[in-house]
Amino acid sequence: MAQSINENQDVPDHNGSTTSSIGAGWPPREASFYRMKGFYTPSIIDSSHKFREFMREFKEVCYNLSENKLSRVSLRGIISKRLLIEVLPKIRDFLEAIIDLDGAEDFSENLLFYMGYNTPNRMPKESEIEHYRRNVLEARLAKPKSCLAIIDRALKQEYSLEIISYSNMRQNQRECVLNQMTGLYLRFGWKTKDVEEILSSKNNIIAVAQKEKEIVSAGIAEIARMDIGGEAFRIAEITEAATLEEHACKGLYSAVSTFLISEIYMRSSRKEFLAGRADLVYGECNGNALGVLKTSSLQGRYFSSETTSNYGLDGRGILPQHVPISGAPRSTPFNDLFPTYLTTKNLNRFSQHD
């Protein structure tokens, strides 16, 4: 059965406050969609003292949530595997997802973990969560393919793939790209200024698929370097992907996002990814977008739902009611997301395999 166009979009709606997906470091800051977001950077959490300090700050943010008229806290940090097992009983009510950093060079003995809290008026609908879990199970049946095989499907259909550098273009080229990209994202409510901000950001890598010089599909990797207690942690989030309806079901989402991963790999292998190697490439995938979830499987990404289950937390690995994403209908205000990921070792294996 052909996939619906709605299954091949991964576009958070913008409300004018920010076009960043990775968000703030530390301290936590107010983010789009009534959230408080942060990435804990004072240190790797590898001692009881550091854990208590993190939890003190997490609880303080949650306590002040309603006062700030917000409805969700989403904090991330890096914790040692040994310590997580020790403190798990104390955080199991708030631990949403785990990413295993095995193969991320300086962080291999650690985990990236998501801690979250939603107010009672921002809770997921269990029937929809069950549907999304079935989507993940179906997606996991898709066997991984090589980087070249995924890209080759698009090339054989006479699409071209390109990494665009908006700031290095001539004025007339920029105007053409901006118009085409605005048209591509128009139905998601984006304005020209939103698109231009994303195109102009030095923190974004942008890949496009073209047919007869027209941009028909695009994807974005937002990159960031976090200083975690003096250690550089380099990450890329695959996000903001869309395809014109008349070009749907041709593997363009898979090709564009794979092309982004290939570009990240090449920069990383030359130690030119934010002046070093990429530690983590990930995406927070819409549980209601089967095509996006299948692409994660094709790319050999790990699913946080499986990683989290390995630590005795079945049914987790989900960011509940995180952001609204344009596409398939839902009955709740926001979408429930499933993180999927590759660390340095797996990124190298996927990108080098022919």
Asked whether residue 15 is domain-assigned, the answer is: no
Asked whether residue 59 is domain-assigned, the answer is: yes
Q: Which token pair is 149?
A: 């095989």
List of the chain residues with pLDDT < 70: 1-20, 23, 353-354
Asked whether residue 214 is domain-assigned, the answer is: yes
Instruction: Give me the helix-helix angle, 290-298 and 126-139, nearest 10°.
Output: 40
pTM to 2 decimals? 0.93
Asked whether residue 8 is domain-assigned, the answer is: no
Asked whether residue 6 is domain-assigned, the answer is: no
Structurally, the chain folds into a number of domains equal to: 1
CATH code for position 131: 3.40.630.30
pLDDT on residue 3: 34
Asked whether residue 18 is domain-assigned, the answer is: no
Asked if 79 and 111 count as a contact pair (C-beta separation under 8 A), the reply is yes
pLDDT on residue 28: 94
Q: Which token pair is 59?
A: 């609880």
CA dihedral (251, 255, 257, 260) in degrees, to 10, reads -170
Asked whether residue 4 is domain-assigned, the answer is: no
- As a whole number of angstroms, the distance between CA 123 and CA 102 comes to 32
pLDDT on residue 10: 59
Asked whether residue 285 is domain-assigned, the answer is: yes
Burial 186-209 (b: 16+ CB within 10 A, else e): eebebeeebbbbbbebebbbbbbb
pLDDT on residue 201: 93
Question: Can you give the residue range of the structural domain that contains 333?
Answer: 25-352
